[in-house]
């Protein structure tokens, strides 16, 4: 059909002569008007034939009919209008985003050095200047400075969380260095909280570190109430249940994780917001010997880094409101086959810790 051949010829000309969008669509629209003009007499003749009148059809060399060409023109017009509107919207967002980020940053208490340090966060639409300011004013307590605590503490410090508390009563041992990357050979024998503080301060001197060289006990569990968020990377169920009870009592969110051999799990527990607590999911501790410790069963070196980094990621999302957290979901990670699964978890009304009457 000569109509379609005309459109193809214009497209070929545009490719050959590198026509810009304006002249190209002007030629297309002009040819469309020609086709409409040529098929209009046919359409009028057909209407006259239906009315019983005489007609003389023009030569059928154009191809198609008036209705078809009009519909095609309207469809192209709608698509072009949509694309034009989308470009304008993107342009508006691209123009407004830097201005908004600049305004957010200007209002935040950052030094020039901090602005450069956190530039990649400030550029993120989901965090921006306000989100980074939230991180700077936030306080997070990390229970345990071992396998999980090591990446958690490093990434929270790197991200600019303003106040980071760390509680642990252990000292650095040579067996820790296979996976606890926050410590160093030169600091063997040093309390883990002091070793961790040195590493975090070397990474980011703009954050405040509060080391607690002690074990979390019921007598000092009120420490939890001083922080906005708690991350539990402990390696025993006694501490995990104690941390959970303290968080429930203080109404604080808890990100808890555990690892062994090649596997790990992590979730965000927050019954004050309707989510389950740790005891809702694990109401009873496993029987003795059923869940061996890392010392007993071993653990692959990068596994704490993978799961600990996920804990830090959940903390940043929770504090800034970015994305969707693991609230109400338990993530199970299997490093041996590189597989992740998610289990929906809900609050139990008969939970001994957070249950409601």
Q: Please, which pLDDT band fits residue 251 given cuts at 50, 70 and 90?
A: very high
Average pLDDT over the chain, rounded to an integer: 84
Return the higher-pLDDT residue of 10 and 321: 321
User: Which of 145, 241, 245 minimizes the C-alpha distance to 200?
Assistant: 145
The pLDDT of residue 17 is 61
| Cβ(299)–Cβ(261) below 8 Å | yes
The pLDDT of residue 259 is 95
Determine the average pLDDT of the residues in 169-186: 96
Hey, which bits of the chain come out as E strands? 139-143, 163-167, 208-212, 229-232, 254-260, 263-269, 329-334, 339-344
Please tell me the least confidently modeled range out of 76-85, 218-227, 320-329: 76-85
The pLDDT of residue 357 is 38
List the domains of the chain with CATH numbers: 2-106 (no CATH), 138-344 (3.40.50.720)
Distance from C-alpha of 108 to C-alpha of 88, rounded to nearest angstrom: 30
Cα Rg of the chain, angstroms: 33
Determine the average pLDDT of the residues in 65-92: 68
List pLDDT tens digits, range 265-298: 999 999 999 999 999 999 988 876 667 777 778 8
DSSP H stretches of helix in the chain: 2-17, 21-50, 66-107, 112-117, 119-123, 128-137, 149-159, 192-203, 237-250, 278-281, 294-297, 303-320
User: Which of 325, 315, 294, 329 minimizes the C-alpha distance to 142?
Assistant: 315
Cut 0.85: pTM above it? no
Q: Exposure string (b/e) for 128-138, b if CB count within 10 Å is 16 or more?
A: bbbbbbbbbeb
């Amino acid at each position: 059909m000569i109509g379609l051949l005309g459109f193809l010829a214009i497209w070929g000309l545009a490719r050959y002569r590198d026509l810009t969008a304006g002249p190209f669509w002007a030629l297309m629209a002009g040819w469309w008007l020609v086709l409409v003009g040529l098929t209009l007499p046919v359409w009028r003749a057909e209407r006259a034939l239906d009315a019983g009148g005489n007609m003389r059809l023009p030569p059928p060399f154009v191809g198609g009919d008036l209705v078809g060409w009009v519909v095609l023109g309207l469809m192209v017009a709608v698509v072009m209008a949509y694309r034009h509107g989308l470009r304008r919207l993107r342009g508006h967002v691209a123009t407004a985003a830097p201005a908004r980020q600049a305004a957010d940053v200007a209002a935040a208490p950052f030094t020039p050095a901090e602005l450069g340090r956190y530039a990649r966060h400030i550029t993120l639409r989901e965090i921006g200047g306000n989100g980074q300011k939230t991180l700077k004013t936030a306080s997070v307590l990390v229970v345990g400075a071992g396998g999980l605590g090591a990446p958690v503490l490093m990434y929270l410090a790197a991200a600019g969380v303003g106040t980071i508390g760390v509680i642990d009563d252990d000292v650095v041992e040579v067996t820790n260095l296979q996976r606890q990357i926050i410590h160093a050979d030169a600091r063997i024998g040093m309390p883990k909280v002091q070793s961790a503080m040195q590493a975090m301060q070397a990474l980011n001197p703009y954050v405040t570190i509060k080391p607690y060289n002690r074990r979390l006990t019921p007598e000092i569990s009120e420490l939890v109430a001083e922080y906005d968020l708690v991350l539990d990377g402990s390696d025993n169920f006694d501490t995990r249940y104690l941390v959970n009870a303290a968080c429930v009592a203080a109404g604080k969110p808890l990100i808890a994780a555990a690892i062994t051999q090649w596997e790990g799990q992590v979730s965000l527990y927050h019954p004050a917001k309707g989510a389950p607590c740790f005891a809702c999911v694990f109401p009873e501790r496993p029987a003795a010997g059923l869940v061996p410790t890392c010392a007993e069963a071993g653990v692959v070196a990068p596994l704490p880094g993978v799961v600990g980094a996920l804990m830090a990621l959940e903390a940043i999302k929770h504090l800034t409101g970015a994305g969707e957290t693991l609230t109400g979901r338990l993530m199970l990670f299997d490093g041996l086959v590189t597989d992740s699964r998610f289990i929906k978890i809900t609050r139990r009304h008969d939970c001994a810790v957070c249950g409601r009457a």
